[in-house]
Amino acid sequence: MLVKICGIKTLSAAKEAVTCGADFVGFIFAESSRKIEPELVGEFGTKLPNHVKKVGVFANQTEQEVLRSAEVAGLDFIQLHGNESADFARRMPLPVIKAFAIQSEKDLENLREYPAEFLLVDLPKGSSGKGLTLDWGMIGKADLPLGKVILAGGLTPENVGKAISAVSPIAVDVASGVETNGMKDPLKMKAFINEAKNISRKRGMNR
Summarize the confidence of residues 18-27 as an average pLDDT: 98
Split at pLDDT 50, 70, 90, the class of 110 is confident
Phi, psi angles (nearest 5°) of residue 107: -65, -30
How many other CB atoms are found less than 10 A from the CB of residue 18?
18
Phi, psi angles (nearest 5°) of residue 28: -95, 120
Report d(CA 129, CA 61) in Å as an integer: 24
Least confident window among 89-93, 112-116, 142-146, 174-178 = 142-146
**pLDDT surpasses 80 at 17:** yes
Provide the pLDDT for residue 124. 87
Phi, psi angles (nearest 5°) of residue 51: -75, -15
**How far separated are the first and last CA of the chain, in Å rounded?**
15
- What fold is seen in the domain 2-206? TIM Barrel (3.20.20)
Split at pLDDT 50, 70, 90, the class of 206 is very low
Q: Are 56 and 81 in contact (CB under 8 A)?
A: no
| DSSP result, the chain | -EEEE----SHHHHHHHHHHT-SEEEEE-SSSTTB--HHHHHHHHTTS-TTSEEEEEESS--HHHHHHHHHHHT-SEEEE-SS--HHHHHT-SS-EEEEEE-SSHHHHTTTTTS--SEEEEEPPTT-TTTT----HHHHHHS-PPTT-EEE-SS--TTTHHHHHHHH--SEEEESGGGEETTEE-HHHHHHHHHHHHHHHHHHHHH-
Exposed/middle/buried for 77, CB within 10 Å: 0-12, 13-18, 19+?
buried
pLDDT digits (tens, 9 = 90+) for 43-83: 998 999 999 999 999 999 999 999 999 999 999 999 999 99
**pLDDT surpasses 70 at 129:** no
Phi, psi angles (nearest 5°) of residue 2: -90, 145
> Considering the chain, what is the average pLDDT of its residues?
93
